[in-house]
Chains A and B, each alone.
Chain A
Amino acid sequence: MISMTELSKKHVSPESAARLKKRKSAQKRLQMLGIMAITISGLALVTLLWSVFGKATGAITESYIEMTIELDADEIDRDNIRAANFSGMAKSMLKDSFPYVSGRTPRRQMYDLISVGAAFELRDMVMENPSLVGQTITFEFLASDIADLYLKHSYGQIEAAPHTGDISLVTEGKVTTIQSSAPDFAPLLVSVRAGLHAKAEGLRTQAQMQENGRVVFDQRAADGEDVEVNLAEAIRRGAARDQFYAQADELDALAAQQGAVFDLDSRTASVFVRVGDSWIKLETISETSGSGEILGEFTQDSYAAADWELMVYATPETARKVSDIQAMLLENLRDADKIVTHFNTHFFTAGDSREPELAGVWGAAVGSFWTMMVTVIFAFFIGVPAAIYLEEFAGDSRATRFVEVNINNLAAVPSIVFGLLGLSVFIGFFGMHRSSPIVGGIVLGIMTLPVIIIAARAAIKAVPPSIRDGAMALGASDLQVSMHHVLPLSMPGILTGTILGMARALGETAPLIMIGMVAFIVDIPDGPTDNATVLPVQIFRWADFPERAFEARTAAAIVVLLLFLFVMNFAAIILRKRFERRW
């Protein structure tokens, strides 16, 4: 037997100290891992919210272009204002304001600066106030999504570059050549050269891919597999490879040329010479000269260094939606203080639209409201009685257990399955109307039912038996005990569970997509049987649209949805705190 002294010796030996240290550091490690796990989840949450809120800021304001427009009495019939061509008037106003924009494509790009909705807003204003007909008014035209994004610098922007030389202009036909007394364009050549090299590199990568393909097909042919087809394919790829290499070499040679004149195109940075409101977009540049077409009017043959500006749009035209013409016009408008920004009211008052600047969440919010009304009526008025029955009346029979297992299973069924249930039963069998809040509400109600039953049962279970015994002792029947005593006392808990269930239903998307609530619906629904969409489905649809301006609006719609969820959860917490009773 080991003696006490030996035992204590064992526990003060250096080995034991080392052991203890190891054991303690194991504990520290576990603790650190726990902290790391929590930090990671926290970081994930912060990143998610950060990226959503960050993107949503782009939708806070919207841009308007302030212009004067003549509401010609000849064009507008005072008795039938609706029929007047306001969109045509807006176009001719733009044409008159920028007479130097000519040609089909530049004109169309100019018209695209204002939203198609602006003409309708103008019409509505005139219809409200017919005395405006015949007057010349200043109106704020809603900018299109492209113009708005340019003004918010989402596509980069035109910026002034340093220059020191005086310039002289020589115009021959349409092309104007600019000669500078200093190598002002030299820094731009660096990027043009780099661009050419990069393009050559890209071509070489493509050539390499063709080569990889060629090898594969060659091998297949060698293996005797569809020899003719594979051989032909290998030869075709080989030719494509050589072509890519040749093009790449050509580009590299061009870039290496000294003192050369380089062509600028839509894949290089755009370079402009600007005097006041007039621009020359350069098509070619060398170190000291450039040439291009005039947009506007240049009154002098030469300008001192202080009188002209060298402007550069570093983002190539192909990499942005806004064209050079649009950017130049917007710069002119901005310098003339014609650009006004307002809080984005369209977003909060409009229904869906294919034009980002006209799209809003109001329609979806109202649709969500009607859907939630149906859901809460369905789920609450079936869920609570079911919970009362299961908790207060059902004995511990096999049938009861079956129902319980059923409810627990339903709570874990993927939501998309509920959507298919709605599709086949309510739309297929009962022939109910697709994309109406009533069908969506019932489907979400069925889905929320188990959640509410489980929450209500927990709340009912929390009422102490003494309440029931007291009521029974006074002669109340079973039903009276439940309805008059247990139910009122458990109501705060039931309501909390209901609100939380509603919050989950509000964010649910998949089942609603199944029953066809993804249709494009512009009108604001008036009731639960109208066509409608809901907030999460709206988010899903917008996230899928290619227009860049929808990204900010999608994020903003998410913020609106999260705000609703926050309010509901907050209400649930308040309810729990205020009315929760500890027995």
Chain B
Amino acid sequence: MTFLTALSIVALAVLFYNFSRIRAISAANGVQANLHSRPSYHGLYSFLWVFLVGVTALIIGSILTPHPMVLFGVVAGLSAAVGIWTTRGITAETRARNKAERIVTGILWACAGVAVLTTIGIILSLVFETYNFFESLGWRVDKFLFGTRWSPLSGLQDGVMDPDRVGILPLMVGTLMITAIAMIIAAPIGLLAAIYLSEFASQRVRGWVKPMLEVLAGIPTVVYGFFAAITVAPLLRETGDLFGLKIASESALAAGIVIGIMIIPSISSLADDVINSVPQSLRDGSLALGATKAETIRQVVIPAALPGIFSAMLLGVSRAIGETMIVVMAAGQGANLTANPFEAVTTITVQIVMLITGDTDASTAAGPAFSLAFTLFCVTLVLNIVAMRVVRKYREAYD
């Protein structure tokens, strides 16, 4: 029925398009040049009104859910009424094009607004649940942020959690450890690869290496997760056994290394961009003074590109913190406050997934899950904003 109603809106819109068009033609008395706007704009104006009013009525109607026939009647009636209103009084002077264009521009504006709406939606939904959760904790936000014990579902009483068991410190430490391992891998490799590509590599080498890095960047994270769990973790465990080290099969090391591999291409491509945007004149000046290429890079290019490189690193950190699939598949699930990378640790994202997909009642699990997500959102937001600020500042320096 909804489909039929939607179809009727389109049919009415098309009908009024033609109706307005014909009325405009007749208003022109056979000489089209008499018209302010071409007939198709008169048609478009009616079409847009009928369509927009119809769709709006349909959406509101779907939420109110009246009887389908009532809905159909109201929607079709409204659309038709608006259609008749737009066709009334069409004369040669009617500025249909301007009116229609204003509507279209409005639609374009609304589309751009969806992005803002999304942000508002994210913030509202996260804040709403987080607020409820903190309220149920009696506003012991300090226990949430600095508590050392995380097992929210074990302390559950009548849907209320024990403030002593919702400390996210172990998750924070786990997330940061994995992120640190990832950055130890990705930062030097990504940066050195970018330096080599932008300063030393021949066209041919670039032609090979760039697509390779793009392939690495295009591999879905679930594939990296499989790789971490099936190949890297057992390999590390066996290597550890050789040296008498006990490496857990869900160690922070395995997840960190694979996340590091995953963010190498994003760091290298961002760093490549900033290195390339260092003006050639700076390099030329340094070379002219007799510096070798390596000295130019170390003492001129890198310092000039440093803000950009810094923000590339921050974006890499932000990606590592927010990464979900690799840690879900390869990191641990139990909160474990440790600084040993060979042990299993858990992360914020893992806990969100466990809470949401677990057997617990959805409304109970939502509290801690959304609070964790809100924390994650804030951390990544700050990192992104700082990164963007730094880039903007740096750009101004050379423009």
Contact = CB atoms under 8 A, between A and B. Distances in A.
Interface string B318-356: 110111110011000000000000000000010011001
Contact of A38 (B125, B193, B229, B294): B193
Nearest to B353: A513
Contacts of B220: 506-509, 536, 561, 565
A540 B189 contact: no
A126 to B, nearest CB: 40
Interface string B68-81: 00000000000000
Given A52-B223, A52-B227, A425 B121 contact: yes
Contact of A409 (B105, B119, B292, B370): B119
Contacts of B357: 513, 518
Interface string A104-122: 0000000000000000000
Nearest to A424: B125
How many interface residues does chain B have, given as a range?
Answer: 35 or more
B196 interface: yes
Contacts of B192: 33-34, 36-37
Interface in A475-522: 477-479, 503-504, 506-510, 513-514, 518
Interface string B186-205: 00111111011100110000
A34 B195 contact: yes
Contacts of A565: 218-220
B114 A543 contact: no
A334 interface: no
A393 interface: yes
Given A35-B196, A409-B381, A513-B357, A420 B370 contact: yes
Contacts of A29: 294
Contacts of A413: 122, 322, 377, 380-381
Contacts of A36: 192
User: Which one of B97, B190, B322 has the highest number of Cβ atoms from chain A below 10 Å of its Cβ?
Assistant: B322
User: By CB atoms of chain B within 10 A, which of A47, A402, A450 has the most?
Assistant: A47
B216 interface: yes
B108 A393 contact: yes
A517 B41 CA distance: 45
A403 interface: yes
Contact of B294 (A26, A37, A558): A26
A227 interface: no
Contact of A40 (B189, B200, B293, B353): B189
B184 interface: no
B12 interface: no
Interface in B102-139: 104-105, 107-109, 111-116, 118-119, 121-122, 125-126, 128-129
Contacts of A450: 115
Given A414-B349, A424-B125, A37 B189 contact: yes
Interface in A374-430: 382-383, 385-386, 388-390, 393-394, 402-403, 405-410, 412-418, 420-421, 423-425, 430
Interface string A516-544: 00100000000000000000110110011
A125 interface: no
Contact of B321 (A414, A514, A518): A414
Contacts of B293: 27
A382 B114 contact: yes
A416 B373 contact: yes
A453 B352 CA distance: 29
A235 interface: no
Contacts of B366: 424
Interface in A213-252: none
A543 B329 contact: yes
A546 to B, nearest CB: 13
Nearest to B196: A34
Interface string A32-59: 0111111011101101100110010000
A190 interface: no
B287 interface: no
A165 B77 CA distance: 99
Contacts of A30: 195, 294, 297-298
A383 B111 CA distance: 7
B114 A417 contact: no
Contacts of A446: 118
Interface residues of A, number: 84
A27 B118 CA distance: 49
A510 B373 contact: no
Contacts of B229: 543
A24 B295 CA distance: 10
Nearest to B123: A421
A330 interface: no
Contacts of B325: 509-510, 540
B322 A415 contact: yes
A555 interface: yes
A305 B260 CA distance: 60
A449 interface: yes
B129 A386 contact: no
A226 B190 CA distance: 54
Contacts of B105: 389, 393, 479
Contacts of B230: 51, 55, 543, 551
B14 interface: no
A37 B193 contact: yes
A194 interface: no
Contact of A386 (B97, B115, B216): B115
A510 B349 contact: yes
B211 to A, nearest CB: 9
Contacts of B376: 414, 416-417
A521 to B, nearest CB: 15
B22 interface: no
Most A CB atoms within 10 A — which of B220, B264, B268, B353? B220
A569 B195 CA distance: 26
Nearest to A416: B324
Interface in B243-278: 261, 264-265, 268
Contact of B200 (A31, A44, A478): A31
7 contacts: A45-B215, A409-B381, A414-B376, A507-B219, A510-B324, A510-B328, A513-B356
Interface of B: 63, 97-98, 101, 104-105, 107-109, 111-116, 118-119, 121-122, 125-126, 128-129, 188-193, 195-197, 200-201, 209, 212-216, 218-227, 229-231, 261, 264-265, 268, 292-295, 297-298, 315, 318-319, 321-325, 328-329, 349, 352-353, 356-357, 366, 369-370, 373, 376-377, 380-381, 384-385, 388
